[in-house]
Chains A and B, each alone.
Chain A
Amino acid sequence: MLELRGVTAGYGHFTALWDVSLTVQRGEAVAVVGPNGAGKTTLLRVLSGLIPPRAGEFRFEGESLAGRPAHEVVARGIAHVPEGRRLFPALTVADNLRMGAYLPAARAAFRESLERVYALFPVLAERRHQRAGSLSGGEQQMLAIARALMSRPKLILLDEPSLGLAPVMVLRVFDLIRRVREEGYTILVVEQNVRQVLRLVDRAYLLEVGRIRGEGRAADLEEQAFIRKAYVGL
């Protein structure tokens, strides 16, 4: 479904990703783990069109999307839940969800999507008239994921969904992502919380200083990851 080959990207004179190749199959949940500054966020920003790759191939469902702007990429079915959630804080929960369905195709199914999302995240239905900025961190993360679902994506990119959340909330958010997965969405998640995320996904890539250093089934990697923890501080 998603295929990256030899992608290099960065900002100005700084190169954050070197020759990155990875694939995601339909229905799969894949994680990219690695320490802070490894280039995980940059990778997702390339995938959602926020920055163009300098080199390499980026295909989604057979179509090359390299260098396409973000608003065209999301129309192809890739929704990005960005780092720091990036909600519209002064808009209500309901208006945030409405903006998630901004694409013409998603707009046509707005009511139906809204019902599905409220069923998945009942707390958002309760808070629908509240400003997004007034929600707790965990609720904001739920809203960010729900907003992404409103565009009726095929692939969801999650950037550090556990970042800045209390431990109890981390478990709840992972639990909700698991439920989103069970709904049949394909997921690519970037995380520093290796232990939790490996229990969620099928496969994982290890990204270090901008390069893919390893890849494998989540179950196999889990043990290795514990070993790595000792010296890379994952």
Chain B
Amino acid sequence: MTGRNQFISGISVILLLFPVLVAAAPLAERQVLDGGVTLLVASRRALPIVTVKVSVRAGSLWEPEGRAGLANLTASLLTRGTATRTAAQIDEEADFIGASLSSWAGRDSSELELTLLKKDLPTGLELLADALLRPEFPDREIARKVGEFKAALRKRQEDPGEVAREAFDGLVFGSHPYGRSLEGTDASLSAITRDDVLRFYRAHYSPERTMITVVGDVEPKEVAERFRTLLRDWPRGGGTAGETAEPKPLPEKVLVKKIDRGVTQANIVLGHQGVKRDNPDYYALTVMNYILGGGGFSSRLVEQIREREGWAYDVSSSFSPGLERGSFQVVLQTKNETAGPAVREVLRELRRIIDQEVTDQELADAKAYLTGSFPLRLDTNRKLADLISTVEYYKLGLDYADRYPTLINAVTRADVLRVARAYLRPDRYVLVVVGDQSKAALPK
């Protein structure tokens, strides 16, 4: 089926980082187990189902030089064989109880996630703990995954939007981990050895670097008891993980990269470095970005580029703050011939929000949406688990949900103008255009 737009999902991704709660209760019960693991439990008893999400401070941020893709490879190998189970046995056991068990790395953390029926919780947690504590990283499974990721990287070249994003990240972040794809590159994947994987696992997968979020039909005491037993042999880490580094600032100019492809649309990404998640301007930026291009059909970019001109099906702007400075980017696709005019329009909107204050109406509408849509961000176990782990990981406080409306409602028109001026750079940006360059008339 085809839908009218996909803005909503984009918005929700961003909003997951900062929702509001109606109730005044903390989002979850939190405790640090003896070994050092942080456990967060939210009881939701309406359905006999449970979601478990393990987050480890082992994202690509911690990858050593020349080993791009190591974090993701390590995470994905957790379920590919343990001391007592082969990969096929793990798959079979999880499938037999209708559970899903998967693992992957992000920029800031690596994740292991389990969803299952409550009645199968003991079986599922045993599998999960086995994967987390006792992965074997067999050579043949490493070879398989490396082959898979290399193929996936090649497959990604079929998607002009992905090609554009990849090029954009590379230009905006240079050699910083935020500048590369999580899978790494063909060359870096070839360079990774089993020793690299083992070293990365030992340095980063330790109880103190791990938090576990459980949401569903569970009793916090009972869950804690189970994890105490399952994790009791997990040795504390030696603190060998290094510090993360900041990305180097961008040069003071406009960087344009054109990539030629035989496609009907120009895929455009325009932007620069943004902010860290702990930046105090985060909330003013959230409001500003909603008005600019984060608010779907309520945003200026959609109003101008889609509704008025009919140039694009999808246009949006977003910040992706992390432990380090993430990016700010505007993304759109338009037929090759309108690439130039669309880019000019994007720049015009960036300048407009820097030049003049937004209207009272725009500010009020943005706040009403951001605070009022909160219940929709927590209406499934999965969404709640994602929120709780984000809140814990970025130290937002388990009362965050109660504070959020206050934080958003405190933003003024002057704040919006101030942060637009501080963080948007319509004269120093990276522009990537993947399309048929013979047809795309781009500004010089």
Q: Do A and B bind each other?
A: no
